[in-house]
Chain A
Amino acid sequence: MTTGTEVTPPPALSKRRRRRDLTTPGLLALPLGWLVVFFVLPICFVGAYSVGALSLFPGAHHVTFTAWHDFVHGSVYLSLFWRSVRMSLTVSVLVVLVAYPLAYFLALSGTKRKYVLLLVLIAPFLTSYLLRVLAWKVILGSNGVLNSMLFWTGLRSPDHPISQLLYSKFAVMLVLGYVWLPFVALPIFVSLESLDRRLLEAASDLGATRWQAFRKITLPLSLPGVAAAFMFVFIPTVGEFVTPSLVGGVTGYMYGNQIADLFGSGLDWQTGSVLSLFLLAVVAGLTLVFSRFLQIGRVTTG
């Protein structure tokens, strides 16, 4: 971290420093330009749509904040948003809990084949996202793999399959968890991999049990990876709309579907823009909080 350490350079260095000053903006120009053109400007457009400064149809229009007002005072969109956040949080927490032991095993078990295993973990990504989601339909359906097995074993009569498996909130969370698991395992794996093993040896020398060593050393040092992993899954899933539209049915409808509907079929770009910006603001806020948390984690453990 580079905080508050401004030092005046000696005169001999100032010329080199100036050249470096030109290099930095030069190198930054492309990514910054990219961000401005493809991120900041589009958001400005969305903002303009949200207050009616721009609209789908040409012609005279005036700036109005009614869409924002309706959004804040109507209960429908906000409650849908919180429902989506809850679903997304559940998925994120569960996936992190599942991914942690997985990453732990890969990083610390000392197996020579850990990179091969890592490759196996991300192998499903060689197939299309859509295909993987659709495959779950085959597994979860009323006549799907799971239900067929239940019929076969006699645990369930074919007239009464477990229908909540598909087209439900459960299906959405299961598929999202499945899809994001490798993404979550990776940052945790990386943070565990870079762990200094000598710390564990020292802990053992000083008489710590394995559990104590894990709790006092491994876990705190891997927390930045866990936090990053959590964000990796939370941010995309809270605005997710493909998976819910495929396996969500009536109860799995999420905030992202609402945005897609408003733009896609509702002709209401104004409300759609409001919903999008709200989502963006919440996600950006959370990212700020978490990035702070990440740094605190580094400072307190490093």
Chain B
Amino acid sequence: MTQDERTDRGISREEFLRRAAVVGGAGVLVGLGASSASAARLTGLGPAAESGSLQVLDWSGYEVKDLWKQYAATHPDMKPKFTFMTNEANALGKMRAGLKPDVVHPCVGYVKDFADSGFVQPWTPAMLKNLKNLNPAMVKAGQINGKQWWIPADWGFDKILYRTDKVTPKEKSWSLMFDDRYKGKIAWFDDLNQLVLAGYYLGFKSPYNQTDAQLKKSQDLLKSKKSLVRMFWSSETDLQNAFASGEVWIAYAWPADYVAMKAKKLPVAYMRPKEGALSWVCGFMLGKGSSRVQAAHAYVDAWSSKQAGSWLETNYAYGAANTTARPADVGLMKALQLDNPKAVSEPLAHIDRYIPRRALYSKLWDEVKAS
């Protein structure tokens, strides 16, 4: 266990708020000056040509104004109106049912599904001033046929969270998720991602696009190790409750979970497996037929700002796509490797991506759960 994978102190709530206020305040000042001018310059029209509230289909928790303060300053009359999605399938379902968001927030693995669905259209990169500061690997992941369909915003690792006082890993590997010594103390993520993880563990070449034989092996591994697992978590709250109360000692987890457990003074480590961490990146897509295209660009540009990114990192312990963003706490930054833009991409981590045969993966994962 290296020092950079732990933070030695949690951050108190007051500290969070104080820092948030400082960062947020700075955001307003910068935002007011810079982007109203740039929006007008880039579009040649200014925001006045569009009207009504900006329709945003987003994850709950992302409606916080600090994340789009710059937009609020330039578009005071076009306040965002939020509808919440529980996952990408849920968002597609809502759009299928007739919801027409100007902006929607899927993660990178679903970019192609959304693009193919006909509910979204590509962005105009020239209208996004902050795009140049976003992690290039992530920006590239949002391109299809040379068009920028998706703008990265927030990201995090999928690594192994474990109790250092109860668990002694044999090696830094995903094998800890399948370790017989900790039967009944392990939590898996309730997602077909488990098959991808199994693929990396088994040393396959393209775990996101496994052959039938490889998928069979991955599925067999999961089925045979399922009896060790206490729970499949689908909400972070569930995981954090179970972890904090000692129900589980080992979990597939996101950075925010690690920070939350640290804050509860639990002795935990957040381990990068030698097979590579997985990483997820979520971002914005532009609704097809949107009548507020310029406002949508301004909104996403606000999210892409350093200020919003720093707020996100400080308060939610997620990474921001803007590589210049920094959390208020240096220990947190080191632990989550936010200062290393390459930490999120190959070979250190495998960014989530389109799975050509997702339906099959999904079915196989369902079978693991139902078996």
Do A and B share a complex?
A: yes
User: Which residues of A pack against B, CB within 8 Å?
Assistant: 56-59, 76-77, 79-80, 137, 141-144, 163, 166-167, 245-246, 249-250, 253, 257-258, 261-268, 271
Q: List 17 A-B contacts (CB under 8 A).
A: A56-B93, A57-B92, A57-B116, A57-B117, A77-B370, A79-B370, A137-B241, A143-B246, A245-B234, A246-B238, A250-B369, A257-B369, A266-B363, A267-B88, A267-B89, A267-B359, A268-B362
**CB–CB A250/B366 < 8 A:** no
Is B251 engaged at the interface, CB distance under 8 Å to the other chain? no
Residues of chain A with a CB closer than 8 A to B246's CB = 142-143
Q: Which residues of B contact A144 (CB under 8 A)?
A: 245
CB distance from B327 to the nearest CB of A (A): 30
Q: Are A267 and B358 in contact (CB under 8 A)?
A: yes
Which chain A residue shows the least CB distance to B369?
A: A253
Nearest residue (CB) in B for A70 is B363
A267 to chain B: closest residue by CB: B89
Say yes or no: B230 contacts A250, CB within 8 Å: yes
CB distance from B264 to the nearest CB of A (A): 13
Contact in complex: B118, A59 (CB < 8 Å): yes
B230 to A76, Cβ gap below 8 A? Answer: no
The chain A residue with its CB closest to the CB of B359 is A268
**Which of the residues A80, A245, A249, A266 comes within 8 Å of B362, measured between beta carbons?**
A266
- Complex Cα–Cα for A52 and B89 (A): 17
List 5 tightest A-B contacts by C-beta distance, closest first.
Answer: A80-B370, A266-B362, A249-B231, A267-B89, A76-B367
**Do A167 and B96 touch across chains, with their CB atoms under 8 A apart?**
no
Are A258 and B247 neighbours in the complex by a CB distance under 8 Å?
Answer: no
Alpha-carbon separation in the docked complex, A285 to B370 (Å): 24
How many A-B residue pairs lie within 8 Å, measured between CB atoms?
86
Q: How far is the CA of A81 from the CA of B247 in the complex (A)?
A: 28
Which single residue of chain B is at the shortest CB-CB distance from A57?
B117
CB <8 Å contact, A250 and B231 = yes
- Additional pairs, 7, CB under 8 Å, beyond known A56-B93, A263-B89: A56-B92, A58-B96, A58-B118, A76-B366, A163-B247, A167-B247, A266-B362
B96 lies within 8 A of A262 (CB): no
Pick from A59, A144, A250, A268 the residue with the most CB of B within 10 Å: A250
* A-facing residues in B217-264 (Cβ within 8 Å): 226-227, 229-232, 234, 238, 241-242, 245-247
Q: In the complex the two chains form, is B87's CB within 8 Å of A142's CB? A: no
A163 contacts across to B, CB distance below 8 A:
184, 230, 247
Q: List chain B positions with a Cβ less than 8 A from chain A.
A: 86-90, 92-93, 96, 113, 116-118, 184, 191, 226-227, 229-232, 234, 238, 241-242, 245-247, 358-359, 362-363, 366-367, 369-371
Contact (A268, B369) CB under 8 Å given A57-B117, A142-B247, A143-B245: no
Return the chain A residue nearest B183 by Cβ. Answer: A163
Task: Decide: A57 and B231 in contact? CB cutoff 8 A.
Answer: no
Residues of B within 8 A of A257 (CB): 369
Q: How far is the CA of A261 from the CA of B86 in the complex (A)?
A: 12
In the assembled complex, which residues on chain B have CB atoms less than 8 Å from the CB atom of A264?
86-87, 89-90
The answer for the CA separation of A246 and B231 in the assembled complex, in Å, is 10
Closest residue of chain A to B188 (Cβ to Cβ) is A250
Residues of B within 8 A of A262 (CB): 366
Q: Are A258 and B232 in contact (CB under 8 A)?
A: no
What residue of chain B has the Cβ atom nearest to residue A78's Cβ?
A: B370
| Whole-angstrom distance between the Cβ of A243 and the nearest chain B Cβ | 13
A77 contact set on B, CB distance < 8 A? 370
- Chain A residues near B113 (CB-CB < 8 A): 267
A141–B86 Cα gap in the complex (Å)?
A: 27
Residues from chain A with a CB closer than 8 A to the CB of B89 are 263-267
Which one, B226, B231, B366, contacts A261 given CB within 8 A? B366
Q: Judge whether B371 and A166 touch: CB under 8 Å.
A: no
- A57, A166, A246: the one contacting B247 at CB < 8 Å is A166
Q: Chain A residues with Cβ under 8 A from B367's Cβ?
A: 76
B96 in contact with A57 (CB, 8 Å)? yes
Closest residue on chain A to residue B87 by CB atoms: A265
User: What is the CA–CA distance of A250 and B93 in the complex, to the nearest angstrom?
Assistant: 27
- How far is B88's CA from A60's CA once the two chains are assembled, in angstroms? 22
Q: Using known A-B contacts A56-B93, A250-B229, A266-B89, determine if residue A76 contacts B370 with beta carbons closer than 8 Å.
A: yes
Closest residue of chain B to A257 (Cβ to Cβ) is B369
Considering only CB atoms, which chain B residue lies closest to A55 in the complex?
B96
